Amino acid sequence: MAGISAPTPSFAARAGQFALRWSLVIALFVAWELLTRTRTFTPFMLPSPQSVSERIMRDASSGDLFINMALTIYRALAGFIIAAMLGISLGLVMTRNAGLRWFFDPVISVGFPMPKITFLPVIVLWLGFYDTAKISMVVFDAIFPILTATIAGVRSVEKELIWSARNLGARERDVMWQILLPAASPQILTGLQVALPIALIVAVVAEMMMGGYGMGGAMIEASRKADSRGVFAGIIEISIIGWIFVKAMAMTRARLLFWHAER
C-alpha cells in the first residue's frame, strides 16, 4: 500500500549480506593466515597478516604512513583532475571541430593502446625526479580514457536534439553546455571511473621508479632492505586507497546521474 515503507533489514541480515559480498576477500585472508600458520612459506616470503598489521600500525604511529599516503593521493588526484579538465575540454572541442578531429585522431589512435609508462625515462630527462614529473606521467596516462569516452559520448547524442535546439535559436555554446555535455555525461563519467584507478596505479609506479617519499617509494625502499612486511603492508594500504577511490567515483556518479535511466 502507498505510504508503507519496506521493512528495514535486521542486523543479522545486513551482516550476512556483507559477509557474502566480501566472501572472496575474506577467503583470501583466511588462506593467507593458514599458509603462514602451516609454514608453507617462510615468514620472509609470506609474512603473517598479524605481522603486516603490526607494521601498518607502527608506520601509522610514526607518521610515515600518512606522509607517504598523502603524497601518493596528492599526485594521483592532481594528475587525474588535470587529465579530466584537458580530456573533457579537448573531447568536446574535437567533436565540434572537424579540423581538430582530423589532426588529433591519429595521435589518439596510436597513443590510447600504447603503454605510456614507456615514456617515463623521457619524462625524467625533461622534468627530473620530483612531483612535476610524477604528476605529468599520471596526466599522460589518465587523459586517454577520459578523452575517448568524451568523444564517444558526444557522438552518441541524438542528432534530433541538436537540430531542435538550433531551430529554437540556441547558440553553439548553449548546445555544448546544455545539450551535449549533459547527454554525454554517463559515458564521460565512465571514462573518469576508468581513469581514476589508472591515475593511482601510475602514481605508485612512478614513485617506485623515481624513488622518494610516497607509497611506491616506500615499497621499493622496503624491498631493497629485504623488508617483506613493509612490502606487503604497502600492498594492503594501496589496495585500500584504490577501493576508496572506486567507491568515491561510484557515489559521485550516482549523485550526478540521479536523473538518468540507469538510476
CA geometry: angle at 187 spanning 186 and 190, to 5°?
90
Q: Is the pLDDT of residue 21 over 80?
A: no
Q: Is the pLDDT of residue 6 over 80?
A: no
Q: Which range (179-183, 208-212, 215-219) has the least confidence?
A: 179-183
User: For 25-48, what is each residue's pLDDT tens digit?
Assistant: 888 888 888 888 888 788 888 888
Q: Is the pLDDT of residue 228 over 50?
A: yes
CA geometry: angle at 144 spanning 143 and 146, to 5°?
70
Position 1 scores a pLDDT of 45
Q: Is the pLDDT of residue 70 over 70?
A: yes
For residue 71, give the nearest of 141, 130, 150, 125 by alpha carbon: 130
Average pLDDT for 210-227: 89
Residue 3's CB is within 10 A of a number of other CB atoms, namely: 4
Average pLDDT for 212-238: 90
For residue 137, give the nearest of 124, 148, 155 by alpha carbon: 124
User: For 169-198, what is each residue's pLDDT tens digit?
Assistant: 667 776 777 777 788 888 999 999 999 999
First to last CA, the chain: 23
Q: Is the pLDDT of residue 77 over 90?
A: yes
Note whether 202 and 179 are within 8 A (CB). no
CB proximity list for 163: less than 8 A, separation 6 or greater: none
d(CA 111, CA 134): 19
Q: What is the mean pLDDT of the chain?
A: 84
Grouping H, G, I as helix, E, B as strand and the rest as coil, residue 162 is helix
User: For 108-144, what is each residue's pLDDT tens digit?
Assistant: 877 777 888 888 888 888 888 788 999 999 999 999 9
Position 236 scores a pLDDT of 92
Average pLDDT for 84-104: 85
Position 73 scores a pLDDT of 95
Per-residue pLDDT band for 10 (boundaries 50, 70, 90) equals: low
Per-residue pLDDT band for 145 (boundaries 50, 70, 90) equals: very high
The type of residue at 169 is G
Position 219 scores a pLDDT of 92
* Stretch (H or E) spanning 195: helix 181-210
For residue 98, give the nearest of 155, 178, 25 by alpha carbon: 155
* Stretch (H or E) spanning 240: helix 228-256
